[in-house]
């Protein structure tokens, strides 16, 4: 049986131009799960991971706006809140999708996943991970001053809040996830990149105020489970060099060496494609067979080698 991690973005559930209400998110989840079930029907055991950038940003604002009524949750708890709610949404939707399938009979289970990070990670001093909705420069200026946000212009799409995003070191629930996968379950794990924790001297865990990039977390989990393939879904059909320029070139295949060279040349910005490429490189360098970066719409075609960009040894 082939095994794969499929990492879907938080924007798979909130499409561009939508306000992100829960009914829209469930509709988008049904579309996503309809594609995921086809991968299972192709003979794959899968782990579904997902981002939560839009959702956790909204959750934080919800808490902050209710500050005078209810004490707000810190960032780490807001991550866990969205991991639970999004896990429920994807789990139920995938269960319903399985029930309608003529070929698949599998249980679906969500694991609230903790991910160990280094408390000395430089991102705690230099926040870089965009979360939440996009704002105009004028609007975010007022909000950033009032809420003491760090903000950044994000890939020409508007301004967003940025928070610490330490690199993942270890997936705490790895053995449980592996056991469920071996039992034939469809597993939803590392939601939102996982809940960031540090390991104290006595071996116990403690939460920290950060978010983890879901692509790095997915790559780390795939490495620790020795899986065959890592599929990272995003908003574009293929990885490109000279993106958005007249000489843009879409790439069907990249070796690890070529991907690394393009990274060094600044082709893949840290706020967008950069983490996906680095996550794919790390996966391949640590024994992975194939990494694919493709759009959510073209998942099935990408798995069949007809779409997306493949990163290979």
Could you confirm whether 220 is annotated as catalytic? no
Tokens for 129?
């991970």
Burial of 258 (0-12, 13-18, 19+ CB in 10 A): middle
Q: Give the active site residue among 35, 106, 185, 214.
A: 214
Beta bridge partners of 222: none
Give the phi and the psi of residue 201 in degrees, each rounded to 5: -60, -30
Rounded CA-CA distance 29/281 in Å is: 28
Rounded CA-CA distance 193/212 in Å is: 5
Q: Give the active site residue among 35, 38, 220, 276.
A: 276
Could you confirm whether 276 is annotated as catalytic? yes
Q: Give the active site residue among 11, 28, 52, 298.
A: 11
Burial of 242 (0-12, 13-18, 19+ CB in 10 A): exposed
Could you confirm whether 10 is annotated as catalytic? yes
**Could you tell me whether strands 129-135 and 205-207 are parallel, antiparallel, or unpaired per DSSP bridges?**
unpaired
Q: Give the active site residue among 35, 106, 129, 238.
A: 129
Could you confirm whether 99 is annotated as catalytic? no
Could you confirm whether 286 is annotated as catalytic? no
- The residues annotated with a catalytic role in the active site are 10-11, 129, 214, 276
């Amino acid at each position: 049986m082939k095994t794969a991690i499929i990492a879907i973005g938080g924007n798979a559930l909130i499409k561009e131009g939508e306000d992100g209400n829960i009914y829209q998110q469930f509709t988008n989840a049904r579309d996503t799960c309809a594609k995921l079930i086809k991968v299972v029907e192709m003979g794959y055991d899968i782990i579904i991971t997902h981002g939560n950038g839009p959702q956790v940003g909204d959750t934080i604002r919800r808490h902050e706006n209710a500050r005078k009524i209810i004490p707000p949750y810190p960032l780490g708890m807001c991550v866990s809140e969205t991991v639970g709610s999004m896990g429920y949404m994807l789990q139920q939707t995938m269960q319903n999708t399985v029930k309608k399938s003529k070929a698949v009979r599998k249980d679906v289970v969500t694991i609230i996943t903790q991910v160990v990070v280094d408390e000395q990670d430089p991102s705690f001093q230099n926040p870089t991970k965009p979360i939440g909705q996009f704002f105009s420069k004028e609007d975010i200026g007022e909000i950033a001053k009032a809420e003491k946000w760090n903000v950044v212009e994000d890939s020409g799409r508007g301004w967003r809040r940025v928070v610490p995003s330490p690199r993942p070191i270890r997936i705490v629930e790895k053995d449980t996830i592996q056991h469920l996968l071996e039992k034939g379950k469809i597993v939803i794990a590392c939601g939102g990149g996982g809940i960031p924790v540090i390991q104290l001297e006595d071996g116990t865990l403690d939460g920290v105020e950060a978010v983890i990039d879901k692509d790095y977390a997915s790559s780390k989990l795939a490495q620790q489970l020795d899986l065959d393939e890592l599929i990272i879904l995003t908003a574009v059909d293929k990885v490109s060099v000279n993106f958005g320029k007249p000489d843009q070139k879409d790439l069907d295949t990249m070796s690890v060496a070529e991907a690394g060279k393009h990274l060094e040349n600044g082709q893949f910005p840290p706020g967008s494609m950069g983490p996906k490429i680095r996550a794919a490189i790390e996966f391949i360098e640590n024994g992975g067979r194939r990494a694919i970066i493709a759009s959510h719409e073209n998942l099935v075609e990408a798995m069949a080698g007809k779409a997306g960009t493949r990163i290979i040894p």
